[in-house]
């Protein structure tokens, strides 16, 4: 089982969106039983909370239901559980490096490192912006999800 953790600040906008979008890509590729996906926030502001209503409605417009997700905080134990720990922006990548155990084997990096169509390197925080920000978050995440899936498939196909 390959395990992927997406991480943002609050775990109510970007990383839960990445979780549901990437899960859909896995379903389409018939890899849902091979790749496990979760999301978390580097801060505890929204632990136990459902995704932001604006994130839910942007995802619903693309046919994805994210209402069952609940916020949780990333911990150092995640580094022993996940193969990929992918941050939405540099601030959260730094937050993760601060709690990363020295012997971690996880691939830790920026999610948009797997993007192809977009040249942006960070998924911008949509929390204080308008609804258009959530659509752009989805576009970036869809793009990077395709690249990440390719990378994981390459590893699965390797002898």
Residues that bind ligand 4NP (CB under 6 A): 8-14, 41, 45, 125, 127
d(Cα 73, Cα 110) in Å, to the nearest integer? 18
Is 8 an annotated catalytic residue?
A: yes
Residue nearest to ligand 4NP (CB): 10
Residue closer to ligand 4NP by CB (options 101, 129) is 129
DSSP states of 66-117 as a string? -TT----B--TTHHHH-SEEEESSHHHHHHHHHH--TT--SEEEEGGGG-SS
d(Cα 17, Cα 141) in Å, to the nearest integer? 8
Find the length of the chain: 159
**CA 18, chain centre distance (Å):** 4
Residue closer to ligand 4NP by CB (options 98, 157) is 98
Alpha-carbon distances of 40 from 30, 75, 92, rounded to whole Å: 24, 9, 11
Minimum CB separation of residue 8 from ligand 4NP in Å reads: 3
Residue with tokens 């996880």: 106
Minimum CB separation of residue 55 from ligand 4NP in Å reads: 8
Minimum CB separation of residue 32 from ligand 4NP in Å reads: 24
Catalytic residue among 8, 54, 78, 89: 8
Residue closer to ligand 4NP by CB (options 97, 150) is 97
Catalytic residue among 14, 52, 54, 89: 14
Residue closer to ligand 4NP by CB (options 19, 79) is 19
Give the residue numbers marked as catalytic: 8, 14, 125
């Amino acid at each position: 089982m390959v395990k992927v953790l997406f991480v943002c600040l609050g775990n109510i906008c970007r990383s839960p969106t990445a979780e549901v979008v990437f899960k859909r890509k896995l379903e389409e590729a018939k890899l849902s039983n091979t790749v496990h996906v979760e999301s978390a926030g580097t801060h505890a502001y929204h632990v136990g909370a459902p995704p932001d209503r604006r994130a839910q409605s942007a995802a619903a417009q693309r046919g994805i239901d994210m209402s069952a997700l609940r916020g949780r905080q990333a911990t150092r134990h995640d580094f022993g559980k996940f193969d990929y720990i992918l941050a939405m922006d540099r601030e959260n990548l730094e937050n993760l490096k601060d709690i990363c155990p020295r012997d971690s084997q996880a691939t830790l990096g920026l999610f948009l490192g797997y993007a192809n169509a977009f040249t942006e390197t960070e998924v911008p925080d949509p929390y204080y912006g308008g609804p258009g920000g959530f659509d752009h978050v989805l576009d970036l995440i869809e793009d990077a999800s395709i690249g990440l899936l390719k990378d994981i498939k390459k590893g699965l196909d390797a002898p």
